[in-house]
Amino acid sequence: MGTRHLIAIALDGRYRLAQYGQWDGYPSGQGVGVLEFLRQQNMETFKEKVRLVRFINDEERDQLFERLLGRPRSKGASPEDVEAFNAAYQTLSRDAGHKILTMIANATEEVLALNNIDFAGDSLWCEYAYVIDLDLETFEVYKGGNTDAVLAHERFHGFPPSDNEEYQPVRLWQAWPLNALPSRTEFLEALPEG
C-alpha cells in the first residue's frame, strides 16, 4: 500500500542516509522491518558500513541512468526503464524500504543514496519517519499529519514545511535506546495505527 515514509540514519553529526520510501510506511510494515533489522545488528560494525554511504544529486543519478540505458532520463522513462534502473541501483529506489539497511550492512564498497531528508518537513505526505541515530544510540519513530509547530528542541525544527501551510514537519512519536529495543509486540502496541 502507498504509505510514504522516510528512513534516516544520523552518524558523526550528520545524516548519512535519508531514504524516501513509497510503500507500506506504517509501523506494522517498514517500522517493524527497521526494528527487526536493528535487533540483529552489531552497532559498531554497522556504523562502519554506514560510513560507506554517499549521497548523490539528481544530476549524478541522471548520468547513471544514461550510462546504464543509453538515453537521458529527461526524455521520459518507461516503466521498463525504471525497473531496469532500480534493479541496477537498488539503493536509489523508492521501493527499497527497510531493505536498504541490509544493503548497507552487506556493503563492501561505496553505497549510493539520495538525500531526501527535507521530506520530513512535509508531514502532509511523509506519513512516518524512522530515524536511527547512531550518535545518540536511539531508534526514533515520527508521525506525519502534524499541524502543530515543531518546537526548537525537536529534531526537525526549522525544516521547511509542506506547500500546504497547515502541515508542519513530522513529530516524534516514540523513541527507544538501541540497547533496549522493544519486542515486535511492544513496538506495535506503542504505535497504534489508525
* pLDDT tens for each residue of 9-30: 999 999 999 999 999 999 999 9
- 46-99 per-position pLDDT tens digit: 999 999 999 999 999 999 999 998 887 776 778 898 899 999 999 999 999 999
Q: Where are the alpha helices (DSSP H) in the chain?
A: 32-39, 43-50, 58-69, 79-88, 99-105, 184-190
Model pLDDT, residue 77: 79
pLDDT band at 165 (very low <50, low <70, confident <90, very high): confident
Cβ atoms of residues 129 and 5 within 8 Å: yes
pLDDT at 176 over 70: yes
In this structure, the number of other CB atoms found within 10 A of the CB of residue 60 comes to 14
Model pLDDT, residue 43: 97
- 99-155 per-position pLDDT tens digit: 999 999 999 999 999 999 999 999 999 999 999 999 999 999 999 999 998 999 999
pLDDT band at 1 (very low <50, low <70, confident <90, very high): low
Three cell numbers at 52? 560507506
Going by their DSSP bridges, the two strands 5-11 and 14-21 should be labelled as antiparallel
Beta strands in the chain (DSSP E): 5-11, 14-21, 53-56, 111-114, 128-133, 138-143, 171-177
Model pLDDT, residue 91: 96
Interatomic CA distance for residues 8 and 166, integer angstroms: 24
Interatomic CA distance for residues 93 and 115, integer angstroms: 12
